Structures are given as structure tokens and as C-alpha cells.
Amino acid sequence: MGSRFPRRGTRESGGEPYRRRMPRRPLAVLAASLVVTVTGALLTPAAAPAAPGEQDARAEGVRYVAMGDSYSAASGVLPLAVPSPPQCLRSSRNYPHVIARRIGARLTDVTCGGAETGDYAEGQYPGVAPQLDALGRRTRLVTMTIGGNDGGVFIGAILKCGVAGLGTLGRGSPCRDQYGASFERTVRRETAPALVRALRAVHREAPNARVAILGYPWIVPERGGCFDKMPIARGDVPYLRSLQRTLNDAVQTAARRTGSRYVAMNRASHGHDACKPVGVRWIEPVLQGTNPVVVHPNALGERRMAERTITVLGLD
């Protein structure tokens, strides 16, 4: 292919070299404790070789490449897409599949749970190609969610705030008191420029495509919370909401700087957070949820993300 997304740890990438990532595993809950780890983990110890993505059989449709992380893969929503790498926890009901069916597109789906911006240029797992490899001059549409896993900041904040909340039985704001502005500072200083680099690479590899990046649907409400479902201290609920807003702001800014379309989810997903009942919530809670991968969109959330994307891009 032509020019590539700069490899991490090279002079081309700018800034300090990327550190080697630790192995990633799915979000999970163990009895009487909160264990939320990096998303999109191995289902099997050995990785089967995989093609860049699965192709929709309708060759006449627009060439559509779906990229991104577990919110795009719909990790935890069954059934899994076949064929697809089992480590990626890619669902056949994710929003890219909903979009492709609605508009009659020819879909190549390379979404993968746990993906970071660096996985666009490097294989995320053995046998799983870099996501940029799926793009080309004939690609006409690209969608993604990405950035939430970078540096482990957002997922790390959910874990740390959950542990802190359990320690105070939901009282006070122990996570904010301990970590202050550190999470948001990392998003602004590290995640934001990484998003710009990733989107620029996508445009280089798919110069004739419309490129859209979605914001992340709300995980927690503005205030109050639901300690029985999301073990976050009451005072830390607005703290996590602010962190997610900062992440979505970084996504929106990166889209603007790279000529990409931003699909805002803040207003659309308001009132559909993980504290809401089944049939209303788009995100599954840590406890009392219906999906094996917690704090992720359910099938309803994926459909709504698809509908919002179709509307914003005028795909109807």
C-alpha cells in the first residue's frame, strides 16, 4: 500500500516512542468484586489466521470498511460474526452490519475488541492484520469508534473508580479525590493527538472515502448513579461523565482537524446509560446486565448507533 500510519516507536510518529502494550482481556465481573480490564480479549489461546475482514456478498454495493474497537465490534452481543477472529469478539449485530444491511453496502469488517489507535498500523493479535490493510482507493465509506482504549485511561478509570467506590460503599468521591485531573489530562495530551494521526492515516489509505468517527454513548448518568448496577461512588458519577465528555470532545476535534465526519452521541444517548432498565439502556452495567462483556453497548445500543450514523451521513 502507499504511505502508512507511522509505526509506534519510530521517529515518524512524533513524540516519545510508544510503550509495548500488555496483553488485553475482556471486561468481566467476579463475585463480590469489580474486575474491569482492557476490552476484547482472547477467547482461545491460539490465534487463527484471519483475512483483513469479512465481505458482504453483494458486490454491487458501496465498499464499506468498518474499523475500530469493541464499541464498533459490539463485543458481548451474540452471535459472533463468522468468519472473524475469535479474539476480536466481533458481533454480526454490530452497528456496521446494521448499516451495511440498511444501505446494501459491501462490508469489510475489521473491528476488534480492545483496539487502540496503534492497531491501525500494527497487527493487534497474531494472525490479525493491521486495520489499515482493509482500506484502498475503492473504499467509499469508513466508520469507527476508537480512542477509548488508548493508554488504558478510560477503561482504567472505570476500574479504579469501581474499586474506590466499593471501598466506600458508594459514598463520597474517592476516585476524584485520588486521581483528580490526571485521566482527563492524559486524554488531552496523548489520546487527542493519537486520534488525529490515526484519522489522517485512514484518509491517506482511503482517499476517496467518506470517513466517520462516532462518539461514545453515555455510560453513566449526569448524577446519582446506580450503585447496585454500576459500583461507582455517588460523587464519582459526574467525575466519570466529565471524563467521557472530554474523550468525546477529543474525538470531535480530531474529526474536524482531519476532514472527517463526527457522529455525536452525547444528545442521542442521553437517558440511555447503564443505569436505565432493560429496553431503555444502550450500555450494559457491571452487575445485573444481559451481556457477558459489561460496560459495552447491547444490541439496542448498536442499532441506535447505526441509525444515528445513517442520519448524520445522509445514507438513507
DSSP 188: I
Query: Identity (one letter) of the amino acid at 136?
Result: G
H helices present in the chain, as ranges: 70-73, 95-103, 153-167, 174-179, 182-186, 192-205, 237-258, 266-269, 299-313
Give the DSSP letter of residue 30: E
Determine the Cα–Cα distance for residues 221 and 247; give it in Å rounded to an integer.
16
Distance between CA atoms of residues 279 and 19, nearest Å: 41
C-alpha Rg value of the chain to the nearest Å: 18
**DSSP summary character for residue 17:** P
Cell of 271: 437517558
Q: Contact, 39 vs 153, CB < 8 A?
A: no
- From residue 191, how far is each of 98, 188, 195 by CA, in Å? 28, 6, 6
> Mapping DSSP to helix (H, G, I), strand (E, B) and coil, where does residue 54 land?
strand
Retrieve residue 201's grid coordinates: 492515516
Q: Count the neighbouring beta carbons within 10 Å of the beta carbon of residue 47.
A: 17
Q: Which residues are tagged catalytic?
A: 70, 296
Calpha distance 155→167 (Å, rounded): 19
